[in-house]
């Protein structure tokens, strides 16, 4: 659901976009930290925010880190 948001921010499209790992952090909603394979040996770490159900807002890409590898540890950022 956030692939198009990332493509817009990066100014490119991703043929491969597969989540391989995630962690959560409960705040006034939930932050999801997701390691995504974007093709070849390239990975990105995404921070996606899901608001509380009563707010009825879509998932939003809060921030991301590029130039990651398969073995980089996924951590809160």
What is the chain's Cα-based Rg? 12
Interacting residues of 22 by C-beta distance below 8 A, sequence separation 6+ = 32, 33, 34, 35, 74
Please write the tens of the pLDDT for every residue from 25-71.
998 899 999 999 998 889 999 999 999 988 989 899 999 998 999 99
Residue 51's SS3 state is coil
Global confidence as pTM: 0.80
Report CA dihedral (22, 60, 15, 17) to the nearest 10 degrees: 10
Q: Is 6 exposed, middle or buried (0-12, 13-18, 19+ CB in 10 A)?
A: buried
Please write the tens of the pLDDT for every residue from 9-20.
999 999 999 999
């Amino acid at each position: 659901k956030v692939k198009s948001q990332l493509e817009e921010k990066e100014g490119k499209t991703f043929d491969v976009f597969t989540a391989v790992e995630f962690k959560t952090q409960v705040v006034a909603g939930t932050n999801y930290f997701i390691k995504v394979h974007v093709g070849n040996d390239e990975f990105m770490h995404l921070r996606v925010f899901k608001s509380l159900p009563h707010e009825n807002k879509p998932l939003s890409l809060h921030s991301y880190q590029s130039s990651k590898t398969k073995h980089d540890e996924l951590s809160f950022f």
